[in-house]
Amino acid sequence: MSLQYSSIAFFALVCTLGGGIGLSPAADAGVHPLLAELSRGWELLEAGNQEATVGFVDRSLSAMAGAAKAEARTMTGFARKGKEFDSPKVNAAGTLSYIRARALERAGKRTEWLAALRQVWTDYPFCQAWDPQGWFWKPGQAAKKEGYVEIIAGAVRDRTLNESPFPAAEDALDYPQMSIALAAVVSQTLERGDHAGLEYLARRMQEMKLRFPDGGGALTVFFTASGGAAGPQQEESAWELARERIAAWQQAFPDSPVPRVAEAHRLIQKAWHVRGSGFADKVKPEAWPVFKELISKAGEVLDQSPRTCPEWYEERLTVARALDATAAEQSKLFEEGWKAFPGYLPLLNAMTISKLPRWGGQPGDALKFARQMEKTMGAKGYALVMNEVWSYERESILEERGFDSVLYRKGLIDLMDEHRGSLSLIHRILVIALSLKDEVLAKEAFRRAGEKYHPTYWTNSDDYLGSRNHALEKP
């Protein structure tokens, strides 16, 4: 399972949105009127008076929205730490707009609610709200997540998932909210016991080959969410609750491979939780037997399931690697899966991991595999393999004998061409370029991103724009 999407999906299962009044009580006297309006907005919302909340917010926004929107249009990103209170009108207007959206949701006005959420991230994308517990949260990101959750959940509920719920072109707030939202829908659907809904969602995602704008597979997020144990501590009770929910799902759909793959994923995740993420020589001796037993059980579950789901192959390859299967056995699994489900990137990533020395591969195996994928996919195939290698090895890949930096660069540019609408992919490639000190690739990525920074990859927009200007000024 790709680390990127595993982390996102787990985060979606355990995080909760902080409430707040939007501005700090320590703000200067000129801000106090806005502080009072925000406090009143939250009070009306929590009192359950939805009509009064919407009316109050509309009146408040009528007095400040013009100036707030004008200021918001000049913002290129979230304010840097310590400067969050420097845009009080933007923060107030954005938070009030979010309060309005929540009121419309509670009033059952779905169309108006979705439109109000869109207003938050469109008009005030970089507003921030202060939580009295001591941190800032971002109403635009919250609105994005909630909007995606409702769109996906509505499509599952009405059986209308006929097109991608994700945009052709991302903005700075779409990633990772798309993944978080999908994971939340899967988790909520499983928790409700809507097994038919889970089957529908998994089937449609597989039929559509649903991907995120950066090319990442959505199906892997589905299995991370359905097969993971909720709870920040991953206690035994959480693992058992996940097992019971999946067992009920499997009982309802005994012929489906989907709950079996979800159960296998649960067992694999629990095995790694027991083992720990360190190197083998750091694992406690008593953890190994439990690890092996859980991994073996996952293999048994998968072997009792039809191989009609692409995730089956990724999970089975993960099991094979953990049980020290031979390189030939692992290659056979990959080739069979790649033939059945060509282009399923989580499987490609799993095979790449098997080629790394830290997971049993031999030095140079990953590069050989990259060349193998180049033959079938072109430079893009080489880059996809090396991206996974880079995620583990970072700039040390430059020391690999036979590494082709020019081919890697071409493959990354091809990926940006293929997924032109993905701002997050451009910035991810930009991070790779900077780590490898590839000035040519960095300039190309900076050029494509323009002045649009991404909060996942940059602390603030000033740092991004400074780095961009410095890179593009070089001859």
In the predicted structure, residue 11 carries a pLDDT above the cut 70: no
Of 227 and 350, which is predicted with more confidence?
350
In the predicted structure, residue 121 carries a pLDDT above the cut 80: yes
In the predicted structure, residue 270 carries a pLDDT above the cut 90: yes
pLDDT of residue 20: 43
Residue 22 — pLDDT band, cuts 50, 70, 90?
A: very low
**Lowest-confidence segment of 153-162, 226-235, 395-404 by average pLDDT:** 226-235
Report the pLDDT averaged over residues 160-178. Answer: 96
**Lowest-confidence segment of 4-8, 297-301, 368-372, 393-397 by average pLDDT:** 4-8
**Lowest-confidence segment of 124-133, 184-193, 245-254, 315-324 by average pLDDT:** 124-133
The mean pLDDT of the chain is 90
In the predicted structure, residue 272 carries a pLDDT above the cut 60: yes
Locate tokens 């690697």: which residue?
321
In the predicted structure, residue 236 carries a pLDDT above the cut 60: yes
Query: And the tokens for 423?
Result: 């701002």
In the predicted structure, residue 85 carries a pLDDT above the cut 90: no
In the predicted structure, residue 163 carries a pLDDT above the cut 90: yes
Residue 34 — pLDDT band, cuts 50, 70, 90?
A: confident
In the predicted structure, residue 8 carries a pLDDT above the cut 90: no
In the predicted structure, residue 102 carries a pLDDT above the cut 70: yes
DSSP, collapsed to helix, strand or coil, labels residue 420 as coil
Residue 281 — pLDDT band, cuts 50, 70, 90?
A: confident
Using CA atoms, how far apart are residues 427 and 433, in angstroms rounded to an integer? 10
In the predicted structure, residue 333 carries a pLDDT above the cut 70: yes
- Alpha carbon 168 to chain centroid distance? 16
Residue 23 — pLDDT band, cuts 50, 70, 90?
A: very low
Q: How much is the CA Rg of the chain, to the nearest whole Å?
A: 24
pLDDT of residue 33: 67
Question: Which residues is 131 bridged to in the sheet?
Answer: 135
Residue 136 host element (H or E) = strand 135-137
In the predicted structure, residue 406 carries a pLDDT above the cut 70: yes
Of 28 and 349, which is predicted with more confidence?
349
Closest CA to 387 of 359, 360, 416: 416
In the predicted structure, residue 19 carries a pLDDT above the cut 50: no
Report the pLDDT averaged over residues 324-343. Answer: 96
Q: What percent of the chain has pLDDT over 90?
A: 81
pLDDT of residue 12: 32
In the predicted structure, residue 31 carries a pLDDT above the cut 90: no
pLDDT of residue 17: 33
Residues 6+ apart with CB under 8 A from 210: 164, 204, 217, 218, 219
